[in-house]
Structure 1
Amino acid sequence: MAQPTLLEKALFKVKENGFKYTKKREALLNFLIKKNRYTAAREIYEHLNGLFPGLSYDTVYRNLREFVEIGIVEDTDYQGEMKFRFSCSEDFGHHHHFICTVCGKTKEIHMCPMDFFKEQLDDCEIEGHRFELYGRCSDCKKFV
């Protein structure tokens, strides 16, 4: 039996979390999978509106937020704008990123620094965190 594709895994997770399957949701996820980098909501909206004329920006943004909540899409505030990408973790698990400031490519970081901070904040309740590194990827640093 063939392994499910990333899109199939994501659509299963959508359904598992009580959301209905729609062609629009499939197209949104497929677009993010193909982009494979953080992308502005406006760019996602423009692509989807080309496929589904009349689709509202609010609908696209709401779906992005819902997908972030269930872990299949990741978001970041990059250069003052929220950007979104399909989760680069095959199991949609917790991880962090290096983000290229030139081309936007990301690399998954396979460790979380929170254990270090938990030891220093043992009397506090941590409710969330972000950890991202920025710089030039190996391709872009050649053109400095």
Structure 2
Amino acid sequence: MKNQPSIEQALQTLKENGLKYTKKREAMIAYLAKANRYVPAKELHEYMSEEYPGLSYDTIYRNLHDFSEIGILEETELNGEMKFRFHCCSHGVEHHHHHFICTICGKTKELSICPMDFFQDQLPGCTIESHRFEIFGRCEDCQPV
């Protein structure tokens, strides 16, 4: 599997952060790594329920939140719903970047330009501690016909 090394890294990160390895957690991570886009918890729950009937939505959501807290996943709010994506740095990309996110399918594209230099110049004497920058729109596959 193409993403296997990064999945293994994510599983190691679970262990390093005191989260127990389970087949369910591995399946969740593998699904998100393969999707390579922002995925709603509901979609992941539907997928996981096929293999693990009776698995609760709350369990899925709690794990997604935990994975996000330890840096395995990125999260964003899109159309009033939290969505989750396998962290880009888990794929070996260690550079600072932002994303274009399709509002229809959740596909993402990396943006290598960061607007923070402009904002830093506009805030003399201030210290920026963090930032988040995302562009939302329709990808080439989701354009209206």
TM-score range for the pair, normalised by the shorter chain length: 0.7 to 0.9
State which of 120, 123, 129 in structure 1 corresponds to 2:122: 120
Q: Percent identity?
A: 60
Structure 2: gaps (5+ residues) = none
Task: Provide the rounded CA distance (Å) in 1 between the counterparts of 2:97 and 2:62.
Answer: 23
Contact kept in structure 1, 2:101 and 2:109, CA below 8 Å: yes
8 Å contact kept, 1:72–1:92: no
Paired residues in the alignment total: 141
State the match for 1:54 in structure 2.
Answer: 54
By how many angstroms is 1:27 displaced?
Answer: 0.6
Q: CA deviation at 1:80?
A: 0.8
Q: Under a length normalisation based on structure 2, what TM-score does the superposition of the two structures give?
A: 0.81
Structure 1 stretch displaced more, 132-141 or 62-71: 132-141
Alignment partners' CA distance in 2, 1:71 and 1:78:
19
Distance 1:101 1:64, change over 3 A: same
Give the Å deviation of 1:92.
Answer: 6.8
**Any idea what SS the aligned residue of 1:37 has?**
coil
Secondary structure of residue in 2 paired with 1:15: helix
Partner residue, 1:103: 105
Partner of residue 68, structure 1: 68
Contact 1:102 1:140 in 2 (8 A): yes
Q: Which moved more, 1:66-75 or 1:107-116?
A: 107-116
After TM superposition, list the pairs within 5 Å mapping 1:1-144 onto structure 2: 5-89=5-89, 90-91=91-92, 93=94, 94-124=96-126, 126-141=128-143, 144=145
RMSD after superposition: 2.3
Can you give the 5+ residue segments of structure 1 that lack an aligned partner in the other structure? none
1:43-99 Cα shifts (integer Å, max 9, x gaps) = 111211221222221111111111111111111100111111111232475532101
SS, match of residue 140 in structure 2:
coil
TM-score of the superposed pair, with normalisation by structure 1 = 0.82
